[in-house]
Amino acid sequence: MIDVHEAFNIVMNNTKLLKSEDMSLINSLNRVLAEDISSKDNLPPFDKSCMDGYALKSEDTKEKMSKFQIKGSIKAGDFSDIVLKNGEAIKIMTGAPVPKGADAIIQIEKVKVEGKELHVLEKVSPGTNIFKTGEEIKIGDVALKKGKIVRPAEIGLLASLGYTKIKCYKVPKIIIINTGDELINIDQNLMQGKIRNCNEYTLIALIKNLNAEVKSYGIIRDDKNKIFNAIKTAFEEGDIIITTGGASVGDYDFIEDVLKEIGTDIKFTSVAIKPGKPVVFATFKDKLFFGLPGNPLSVINSFESFVAPSIKKNDWKR
């Protein structure tokens, strides 16, 4: 038997970061970036208006009223090849590209219009209400750094930069195996000597709460061959395998024997923790195995003490 701190250190020292994988943009929500994301474009890609108003030359404005001839209009999505001359203005909508020759936008609320003539009632500074090309981000700039959580805002930014796929760290796939002849499904009526398989649902909830992928193999009876086949398959499919029950030294506790037959490296089989003493931890290639007790309180305590920290190590946002 080893103490809790030693067991914890053994688990963490044997927990390796998972590799990255390519993911479609929308499926990357809440995942962690495995690479820096550089901008492919300038944002905005052109000088654009921040307001509904009129594009003009700032040098033509005065402290008192200035008059301009309105030469047309530009809405978002349009482009005008008009080159503004002194004394001219173009009506412009928010998000529209600023026409050549203009260096300022005067808000529509600050002007008066009489027919085709625009009256500006104040002096306007160069660059007023214009969002300059690349002001948000320039080509080659790092838009998002490795290790960043991909939230809805990040997905929107990545979409605006033209990314359809990104590299994210894999989340561990966890396989649950509940062993015991005494177990029945939760929708079955209780009978002599039987208990409902509550551990399966507790573990699924605990794992989902950590943003990991989980799959349950359901109930496996106290049959050594069946337990062997289930654990062997789980090692092929998952990154972390969790069993409940069968981890002690009773006549029908087969976990340790099965692990030896498979060829795992058993690190410990008992921890000085209450509740949860018979905890087994083993490694197999780059996979991890946790054999938890069958008692529901022991399952929760040993999971939070050893399994959860291992899962969190692969989740950079924690």
Query: Read out DSSP for the chain?
Result: -B-HHHHHHHHHHT-PPP-EEEEETGGGTT-BBSS-EE-SS-BSSS-EESSSEEEE-GGG--SS-EEEEEEEEE-TT-----B--TTEEEEE-TTPBPPBT--EEEEGGGEEEETTEEEE-S---TTTTEE-TTSSB-TT-EEE-TT-B--HHHHHHHHHTT-SEEEEEPPPEEEEEEE-TTEE-TTSPP-TT-EE-HHHHHHHHHHHTTT-EEEEEEEE-S-HHHHHHHHHHHHHH-SEEEEES--SSSTT--HHHHHHHHT-EEEES-BS-SS----EEEEETTEEEEEE-SSHHHHHHHIIIIIHHHHHHT-TT-
pLDDT tens for 94-148 read 999 999 999 999 999 999 999 999 999 999 999 999 999 999 999 999 999 998 9
What is the reported pTM? 0.66
Q: Which domains does the chain have, with CATH numbers?
A: 4-18+171-313 (3.40.980.10), 26-38+136-169 (3.90.105.10), 48-131 (2.170.190.11)
Looking at residue 90, its pLDDT comes to 97
Cα separation, 65 vs 128, in Å, equals 18
Tokens, residue 6: 């030693």
Closest CA to 247 of 302, 198, 173: 302
Residue 70's alpha-carbon distances to 22, 92, 110, 114, 267, in angstroms, are: 52, 11, 15, 10, 81
Pairing mode of beta strands 265-268, 195-196: unpaired
Tokens, residue 126: 């160069």
Q: How many CB atoms lie within 10 A of CB 9?
A: 11
Judge if the upstream peptide bond of residue 44 is cis by omega within 30 degrees of 0. yes
> Which is it for the CA torsion 174, 180, 182, 184, positive or negative?
positive
Looking at residue 289, its pLDDT comes to 97
Contact in structure between 280 and 256 (CB atoms under 8 Å): yes
Burial class (CB in 10 A: 0-12, 13-18, 19+), 291: buried
Looking at residue 318, its pLDDT comes to 44
Low-confidence ranges of the chain (pLDDT < 50): 317-318
Length of the chain counted residue by residue: 318
Closest CA to 98 of 84, 112, 119: 84
Looking at residue 247, its pLDDT comes to 66
